[in-house]
């Protein structure tokens, strides 16, 4: 039963009794819906391809439903020169126009940075994400969010612009088929007019095929995003879950989610 999943998941996320991080810009009061009307009332913000993107009325939470393609970016094993990495090298760009791997001059026309013997995957390229740890060098694989370890989601620029969503924001992602959910962080900006993508780790959490070349699903995934819930910095899984659980509870939690999406 989905209610059991929700209760156990939210309970585990709150077990550490986290304190609110002052650096996270979303306050509980900013997302509580004080409206006395239907808590599921919504307004369409835009449409990406055939997917409508909505915002709940009187509460700053954005959502849409579509499928999920798999993103391996940020994983040390994402790409290599033999194209035997987790994902096809064409998804990182091409010679003199790289957008998904680090280069020696930190520009698209540079030469790919190859991991050394002291890195996680020697011989592989350094795969990048939009969300970065600015304390680390651009050639360091640990600067980027590892798709194999961290549940993250991807958004196109037009959704960010529609409601001022920022990189590092937190979301709850739900897979209808298996009544499975995971909190996730917004870690990669995708191309314009493409919607519905998540990391290898997120797919595993949701029981979705996580092969970046052949996995994914076409429908049945709900993305519930809390704008300005992050601080443009990477987070650990524990931090993602703590922030997500608090925001989800303040929004209305399991009761509101079931009413708006599952009834």
* Tokens coding 170: 């937190």
Contact 116, 110 (CB under 8 A): no
Per-residue confidence (pLDDT) for residue 20, from 0 to 100? 41
Phi, psi of 69 (to 5 degrees): -90, 160
86, 109, 144 — which closes off a domain? 144
* Domain identity same for 154 and 55: yes
* Domain identity same for 128 and 161: no
Per-residue confidence (pLDDT) for residue 40, from 0 to 100? 96
Contact 170, 251 (CB under 8 A): no
* Domain identity same for 189 and 206: yes
Question: 10 Å Cβ neighbour count for 42?
Answer: 16
* Domain identity same for 234 and 159: yes
Q: Find the CATH number of the domain harbouring 198.
A: 2.40.40.20
Per-residue confidence (pLDDT) for residue 35, from 0 to 100? 44
* Domain identity same for 62 and 127: no
124, 144, 164 — which closes off a domain? 144
* Domain identity same for 56 and 15: yes
Pairing of strands 152-155, 180-189: parallel
* Domain identity same for 187 and 158: yes
Q: What is the pLDDT of residues 73-128, one digit of tens each?
A: 999 999 999 999 999 999 999 999 999 999 999 999 999 999 999 999 999 999 99
* Domain identity same for 226 and 155: yes
* Domain identity same for 109 and 155: no
Our count of domains for the chain comes to 2
Nearest to 172 by CA among 105, 65, 245: 245
For residue 204, count CB atoms less than 10 angstroms from its CB and return exposed for 0-12, middle for 13-18, buried for 19 or more.
Answer: middle
* Domain identity same for 132 and 191: no
Nearest to 127 by CA among 153, 100, 145: 100
pLDDT tens digits in sequence order for the chain, 263 residues long: 444 344 444 544 443 343 344 445 555 445 544 445 789 999 999 999 999 999 999 899 999 999 999 999 999 999 999 999 999 999 999 999 999 999 999 999 999 999 999 999 999 999 999 999 999 999 999 999 999 999 999 999 999 999 889 999 999 999 999 999 999 999 999 999 999 999 999 999 999 999 999 999 999 999 999 999 999 999 999 999 999 999 999 999 999 999 999 98
* Domain identity same for 138 and 156: no
* Domain identity same for 120 and 168: no
**What is the extent of the structural domain holding 173?**
2-71+148-262
Contact 154, 189 (CB under 8 A): yes
Q: Is the whole model's pTM more than 0.75, yes or no? A: yes
144, 160, 180 — which closes off a domain? 144
Per-residue confidence (pLDDT) for residue 164, from 0 to 100? 86
* Rg of the chain taking only CA atoms, in angstroms: 18
């Amino acid at each position: 039963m989905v209610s059991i999943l929700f209760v156990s998941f939210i309970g585990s996320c709150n077990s550490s009794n986290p304190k609110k991080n002052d650096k996270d810009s979303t306050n509980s009061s900013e997302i509580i819906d004080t409206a006395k009307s239907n808590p599921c009332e919504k307004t369409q913000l835009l449409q990406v391809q055939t997917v409508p993107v909505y915002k709940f009325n009187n509460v700053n939470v954005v959502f849409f439903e579509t499928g999920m393609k798999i993103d391996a970016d940020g994983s040390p094993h994402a790409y290599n020169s033999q194209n035997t990495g987790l994902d096809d090298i064409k998804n990182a760009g091409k010679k003199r126009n790289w957008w998904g791997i680090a280069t020696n001059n930190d520009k698209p026309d540079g030469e790919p940075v190859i991991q050394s013997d002291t890195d996680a995957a020697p011989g592989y390229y350094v795969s990048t994400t939009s969300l970065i740890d600015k304390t680390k060098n651009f050639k360091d694989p640990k600067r980027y969010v590892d798709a194999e370890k961290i549940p993250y989601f991807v958004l196109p620029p037009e959704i960010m612009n529609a409601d001022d969503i920022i990189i590092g924001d937190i979301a709850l992602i739900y897979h209808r088929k298996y009544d499975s959910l995971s909190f996730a962080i917004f870690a990669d900006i995708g191309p314009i007019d493409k919607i519905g993508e998540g990391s290898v780790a997120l797919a595993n959490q949701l029981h979705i095929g996580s092969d970046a070349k052949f996995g994914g699903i076409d429908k049945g995934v709900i993305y519930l995003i809390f704008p300005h819930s992050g601080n443009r910095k990477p987070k650990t899984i524990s931090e993602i879950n703590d922030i997500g659980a608090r925001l989800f509870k303040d929004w209305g939690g399991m009761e509101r989610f079931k009413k708006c999406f599952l009834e």
